[in-house]
Chains A and B, each alone.
Chain A
């Protein structure tokens, strides 16, 4: 079967061996992404949203293993040897992390960190690589790029470092850009700048983008489709309009209602989802959301609802979809 999906993930599961037993961080996740599209991946900490992408980039912690299938175009890339994976990651698929300070090497000048990938993957000369690095820094809005490329990471502000990270991720014209909470550590005014930049870059380069975030406001502004994660599983998928205006899953609904909104005068108290996010080591039988759900039925506590597909990429994992 030929599709134009640039990335296809099927039955991806990721487990970690820990001293306290096995933890299933990602459970049977399926999705795909097309060129030029932005997929939002939403969920709380521990929902598995980051681990999916660390799995497919081959960046899992040593005690983690993944099963299933991840195809970049037609090539299977899950559990590939580092040497083979390096031909794809950082080149065709790049990832931006939440904390730009910890993902840049503090000992190396930006120039060295940026040219390395070009020399390695593109076989460019140092001089050409530097030219390209400067051009890319310029593109992401760093003024005086020709001078500042020779600075160390600590000489940049948080927003500027995140721009450096984005520039670095885009050096080899990747077809897939995975952004893991790229603006969470930044101030709102800088966040707005970075989101604008990502939007522009996507228009210019037609990059497929994955936006991993807990901020539904960011999703609303940037994403085409959304995947909601809970307890290591996908609980709902749909277009951004589906999710925001016609959510099916009680968790999505709760999440939307508990977001404080700056455009609304306040009510007496905020809606809060009761309880705590689930402990992956000790998931309940049945639906992982049962303890916090307002619609819980007897069935939810014995049987796990499967992700039910409604077509057009719309799916939800809740027994309420069965018609009662």
Chain B
């Protein structure tokens, strides 16, 4: 198994190792006695994550990127494979053993208002993980820590008794980040954390995440469909399509020289805010939509939309090929396209 690392991070042992991770949802078959069909949301994903590193997970809606994030945190039970946290597998371990580990990994969500309980004050929301995981702390200590974290993420500590609806989207996302950071976790899964925010606010939140990462040596899994933001914040990038990894490479390689046709198409489809460049750039326009994950294409799952597909693609599933120190790609013809 070859799994690559960002060049400057690879001296350390990985904080997280994911091996052949699968999440299959059973979908009831049509008819009374029909068998359930598996929907392969995540189908054999491998990667390592190192301390202080940000891994971007990109792909179109329905590619399994959110499911992957939740399966890593055991919020969805994986159907197969391993997730090793600091060297120890956590798939299928009892709740009792899982609970103490949870303080080390947190998640922040896309819709910042929807993920905050409207009937709790933001002080209560941010304090909740502390109350759960560190019951020995006194009220005053909790309040001090909450206020300190609020100030750190750019919220005025005197707002501690307000309710979520009194805040704007960007501020709600800061509340979500404060709640995730209060236990000083080692890993945060960020599931589209800036997609619902205005452009001017997106940059604020991205900068905040990067500062926190440097300060606390955080590892981040940054799930996004926005390849421009991902270029800014991520050290390495994984491209998913129908639950399969198409390409995994460090940032510079993937943007300078994408090897998978899907990565190429994705990157070329992102509009560039410069009229001259945008109007003259070469684009690979994909035809059609994502196939149904219930009946994925045989062979390479991308072949039905791939402009370079050949006969072999319909019969053989491409293996992940390591094309350089920092880049691996799942395509039969990556040398010729």
Question: Using a CB–CB distance below 8 Å, which chain A residues touch chain B?
Answer: 44-45, 157-160, 187-193, 195-196, 214-221, 240-241, 244-245, 254-256, 258-266, 269-274, 276-277, 292
Cβ contacts under 8 Å, A221 to chain B? 271, 275, 278-279
Cβ contacts under 8 Å, B277 to chain A? 220, 263
Q: Could you list some 26 contacts between A and B, CB below 8 A?
A: A44-B198, A188-B266, A188-B270, A189-B265, A189-B285, A192-B269, A192-B285, A220-B277, A220-B279, A241-B275, A255-B200, A258-B200, A258-B202, A259-B199, A259-B273, A260-B231, A261-B272, A261-B274, A262-B270, A263-B274, A264-B231, A265-B252, A270-B206, A272-B203, A273-B200, A277-B201
Complex Cα distance, B210 from A163, in Å, reads 38
Assuming A44-B198, A277-B198, is B273 touching A188 (CB within 8 A)?
no
Q: Is the CB of A262 within 8 A of B60?
A: no
Q: Is the CB of B271 within 8 A of A220?
A: yes
Cβ contacts under 8 Å, A193 to chain B? 285-287
Complex Cα distance, B278 from A195, in Å, reads 12
Question: From residue B248, how far is it (CB to closest CB) to chain A in Å?
Answer: 18
Question: Using a CB–CB distance below 8 Å, which chain B residues touch chain A?
Answer: 60-61, 168-171, 198-204, 206-207, 210, 225-229, 231-232, 251-252, 255, 265-267, 269-275, 277-279, 283, 285-287, 289-290
Question: From residue B221, how far is it (CB to closest CB) to chain A in Å?
Answer: 18
For residue B168, which residue of chain A has the nearest CB? A276
Q: Is the CB of A217 within 8 A of B231?
A: no
Question: From residue A2, how far is it (CB to closest CB) to chain B in Å?
Answer: 32
11 extra interface residue pairs, beta carbon distance < 8 Å, beyond A187-B290, A259-B273? A160-B289, A220-B273, A221-B278, A245-B275, A255-B199, A260-B206, A262-B267, A263-B272, A272-B200, A272-B206, A273-B203
Cβ contacts under 8 Å, B283 to chain A? 192
- Tell me the number of A-to-B contacts counted with CB atoms below 8 Å: 135
Question: From residue A190, how far is it (CB to closest CB) to chain B in Å?
Answer: 7
Cβ contacts under 8 Å, B170 to chain A? 276
Q: Which 7 A-B pairs have the closest CB atoms?
A: A217-B271, A272-B203, A216-B273, A273-B200, A187-B60, A260-B228, A192-B269
Which residue of the partner chain, among A44, A244, A292, contacts B274 with CB atoms under 8 Å?
Answer: A244
- For chain A, what secondary structure do more than half of its interface residues adopt (helix, strand, loop), or is it mixed? helix
Complex Cα distance, B26 from A295, in Å, reads 58
Cβ contacts under 8 Å, A266 to chain B? 231-232, 251
Cβ contacts under 8 Å, A214 to chain B? 198-199
Cβ contacts under 8 Å, A272 to chain B? 200-201, 203-204, 206-207
Question: From residue A291, how far is it (CB to closest CB) to chain B in Å?
Answer: 12
Cβ contacts under 8 Å, A241 to chain B? 275
Q: Is the CB of B199 within 8 A of A44?
A: yes
Complex Cα distance, B276 from A221, in Å, reads 8
Complex Cα distance, B203 from A292, in Å, reads 14
Complex Cα distance, B206 from A271, in Å, reads 10
